[in-house]
Amino acid sequence: MAPRTVAPFGPQHPVLPEPIQLKITYEDEKVVDVVPAIGYGHRGIEKACELNEYPKNIYLCERICGICSCIHGISYCEVVERLWPIDVPPRAKYLRTIWSEMSRTHSHLLWLGLLADAFGFESMFMQFWRIREKVLDLLEMTTGQRVTQSISVVGGVRRDIDDEQKKKCIEVLREVRKESEALINVLANDYTVKARTVGKGVLTKEQAIALGCTGPHLRASGVKEDCRMQGLQAYGDLGFEPIVEKDGDCYARTLVRCRELLQAIDLQLEAFSKMPEGEIAVRPKGNPPANEAVYRAEQPRGEVFYYAKGNGTRNLERLRVRTPTYANIPSLLVMLPGCELPDVPVIVLSIDPCISCTER
């Protein structure tokens, strides 16, 4: 029997910019055991949310994660609105949907680039990030910030998209769709990409459900489950259908995200065409009442769950967040043992890990 070696993967590793440690035990080139050590990114945001007044928590919640920040901010506002409850104007709902999908577009482009980088396809990485800059420019134009937009406020949104901006958005989104299609065509059909992803890190439908996976990771294993199916915000009007693949390997997860990227652009274009006129925000009266509320939203990485409890003062009594990567990490312990050592970065990346989300 070959001797066993333990290799630390992280907390500082070129594949993941974030601090997580996986202690990988391997024999020759085969991985036998994986032990994740998390806690490097823990800040204590949930507790800090109790110390701040409720309108200020938007900025803190957005900084749970900088990549899906827009949806974190929106989800926080939605859950606090449910405490009163406050009814948000229809135009604000459409605007929230548009910005959510825009942030999904940039997040998926980012992930596809990182995946290409993980198996050494450097030029593909550069191409995806080149396209992503166009989406970031749109976000900067419409919200004023590239990464953390803070666009949502309790009761609506902070800014409107006027006709000139709308025209520009539609034009750029069409361009982005065309360029992404060309790149996805290469990514999905290239021989070397297939050699590194097909049949790697297989997760069956039963395992995915038993481990409680969420998001594109779950849908790649053939489960039709997406929080956007609830029809909240404008998704009910847009005729949303989740994207599902059957194989459950890294290739299927890549395909799900490729198709979701194109779908996100289509949803934005449709939302722009159906967006009603009117108010963009209502002012909340008084403090959040003593009440409890929950809200589920679909992030680029999966389902995020928000729970809020008010007590009639300007501070919340409790805020609880459950993030998608926290649900997806256990599946690594099923997928990694038995794989080859060079496949570890690709499999780890295929769940789209977001450590700052997980540890908050």
Partner 1 sequence: MGIINTSRIKSPWIMHFDNSSCNGCDIEVLACLTPLYDVERFGIVNMGNPKHADVLVVTGPVNRRTARVLKNLYAQIPDPKMVIAVGTCACSGGVFHNCYNILGGVDKVIPVDVYVPGCAVKPEAIIDGVVLALQKLSKALGVAK
The yes or no reply on residue 133 touching partner 1 (CB under 8 A) is yes
Cβ proximity to partner 1, 29 vs 133, nearer residue: 133
Are residues 95 and 160 in contact, defined by beta-carbon separation less than 8 angstroms? yes
Q: Does 69 bind partner 1 (CB under 8 A)?
A: yes
Q: CA 308, CA 310: separation in Å to the nearest integer?
A: 7
Amino acid type, 238: L
Phi, psi of 190 (to 5 degrees): -70, 140
Instruction: In angstroms, give the least distance from the CB of 261 to partner 1.
Output: 17
Pairing of strands 4-9, 21-27: antiparallel
> Which residue from 154, 255, 297, 354 is in contact with partner 1, where contact means CB under 8 A?
354
**Binds partner 1 by CB under 8 A, chosen from 64, 98, 135, 334:** 64
Beta strands in the chain (DSSP E): 4-9, 21-27, 30-37, 152-153, 156-157, 292-299, 302-310, 316-322
* Smallest separation, CB 285 to partner 1 (Å): 27
The one among 5, 12, 192, 313 contacting partner 1 by CB under 8 A: 12
Residues contacting partner 1: total by CB under 8 A: 44
Distance of CA 326 to the CA centre of its chain: 12
182 binds partner 1 (CB under 8 A): no
- Residue reference for tokens 């295929």: 350
144 binds partner 1 (CB under 8 A): no
Per rule CB under 8 A, is residue 359 in the interface with partner 1?
yes
Residues 194-213 that bind partner 1 (CB under 8 A): none
Report 22-51 residues binding partner 1 (CB under 8 A): 39-45, 47-48, 51
Q: How many CB atoms lie within 10 A of CB 78?
A: 23
- Cis peptide bond N-terminal to 11, omega within 30: yes
Q: List residues binding partner 1 (CB under 8 A).
A: 11-14, 17-19, 39-45, 47-48, 51-52, 59-60, 62-67, 69, 110, 113, 125-127, 129-130, 132-133, 136, 145-148, 354, 356, 359
